[in-house]
Structure 1
């Protein structure tokens, strides 16, 4: 395998009832930009339909290898997909269904249980076995509170534990774990997330979720991560940040920014 690699993680945001343009309209533009960047691997979250997966894949001609697992309705399980320039082995998908929400009222626990069944972690190795990629999305926390006393804390801790075990089930000289963790870097769970990993975005700690999509006055946080083990990181940047002109007006490409790392000797 090449000694350098370029990886992007991006929550594409399906955008139902949102201020953003429709998902396919935005996909045309972010696929064009990602193709121009010449990245090696692309970790996508919120690809909730098989038709959207095909639509995106048709616009990433340089990334003809794709890993995903079908859910109950044939959709990408967890809304997760990995696109690659390099051949991939068969992926594995681990659901969060074993997590048990114990806090909050009955309605919250029921909603959390549904979320756990819908979400999980996708793991895949390159065909040569040299690189392990993990892609995940955890349950959203709309409270804006990531303290230990918050009702999401227990479910998030269990989900992070599932992610860690799923990644440890595979071995490779180099590992990359990315996704929308929905846990702020200020949370007491942050050390549990990054234990054993290098977080190349820790120094700048810039928000990855857009304040424009939050209630007025609520600060944005860094809730997306792209972590590395086994190789030094040459650079780490947030991309797809600016609003763009689309056919139906100006729009952000997502409610999240994309994370990009370039690793190698």
Structure 2
């Protein structure tokens, strides 16, 4: 049976902090480069203001997000050249009262969520997810972030398993590939890594605290039946901008070309 090729990208745009990060210029650069290619869909994280969104969405006729007071809920946006059949947004579970997480992590957890859309022509679901960041950089089962991250991964697994439609899950998972949370998610849902475990660290070293090790924390996952034809990395190098050279994001972008039956 012939397959329709669909190209999907995921990128954390580094929406925070806004001050001093040339956010408008970086968003314009991201939009220009994504719009110049044959990309069908883009899953973005940390788009926290409508001004950011206005810069990013220009090349794409269709956009999905949940409105909130200052910008897209959870900072999650899906841009598309393909027609979409509705969207749903849900906040991920929050840290329990009495947990040992720092105040900043609790505040950031309010922005953790998932945004789902369905492609009108094929019925394929695309889920854009952004769990809470583990600022300890420790993904062992005894880490203080483990409980809330486990509950958030569990919520994602339930959404994927609730519908047997072919599904793509993209996003900044804020959890290294070495964490057992990934293996549990994949076993429960049938999701598989489009990069087959070969993706390099997806967070630029220079944005980490001294002595920290970068990891692969961004993923494109797909259920069986969606063939992975090609993968690539985006925004790995500094770009020339009006105000000087620099990275457009603290993350690199991931691209997967999928075959849809």
Instruction: Using structure 2 for the length normalisation, give the TM-score.
Output: 0.90
Separation in structure 1 between the aligned mates of residue 70 and residue 24 of structure 2, nearest angstrom: 19
Q: Which runs of 5+ in 1 are unaligned?
A: none
Q: Which residue of 2 aligns with 1:130?
A: 123
Tell me the CA shift for residue 32 of structure 1.
1.2
Matched, 1:187 2:184: no
| 8 A Cα contact 2:65 2:72, kept in partner | yes
| 8 A Cα contact 2:31 2:55, kept in partner | no
Q: Which residue of 2 aligns with 1:144?
A: 137
Matched, 1:217 2:211: yes
| 8 A Cα contact 2:232 2:254, kept in partner | yes
Q: Which residue of 2 aligns with 1:65?
A: 62
The 1:150/1:18 distance shift into structure 2, 3 A limit, reads farther
Tell me the CA shift for residue 151 of structure 1.
0.7
| 8 A Cα contact 2:43 2:171, kept in partner | yes
Matched, 1:168 2:165: no
Coordinate RMSD, CA, aligned = 2.1
Per-residue displacement from partner, 1:93-126 (whole Å, max 9, x unpaired)?
A: 1112455366416xx2x54443333221000101
The 1:101/1:116 distance shift into structure 2, 3 A limit, reads farther
The 1:101/1:148 distance shift into structure 2, 3 A limit, reads farther
Q: Which runs of 5+ in 2 are unaligned?
A: none
SS of the equivalent of 1:118 reads coil
Per-residue displacement from partner, 1:65-105 (whole Å, max 9, x unpaired)?
A: 1111113x152111001011111122111112455366416
Matched, 1:244 2:239: yes
Q: Which residue of 2 aligns with 1:87?
A: 83
The 1:18/1:148 distance shift into structure 2, 3 A limit, reads farther
The 1:129/1:116 distance shift into structure 2, 3 A limit, reads farther
Matched, 1:256 2:251: yes
SS of the equivalent of 1:89 reads strand
| 8 A Cα contact 1:135 1:177, kept in partner | yes
| 8 A Cα contact 2:9 2:255, kept in partner | yes
Per-residue displacement from partner, 1:167-214 (whole Å, max 9, x unpaired)?
A: 334442x21100001000111212023331110223324101111101
SS of the equivalent of 1:222 reads coil
Count of aligned residue pairs for this structure pair: 256
Matched, 1:25 2:21: no
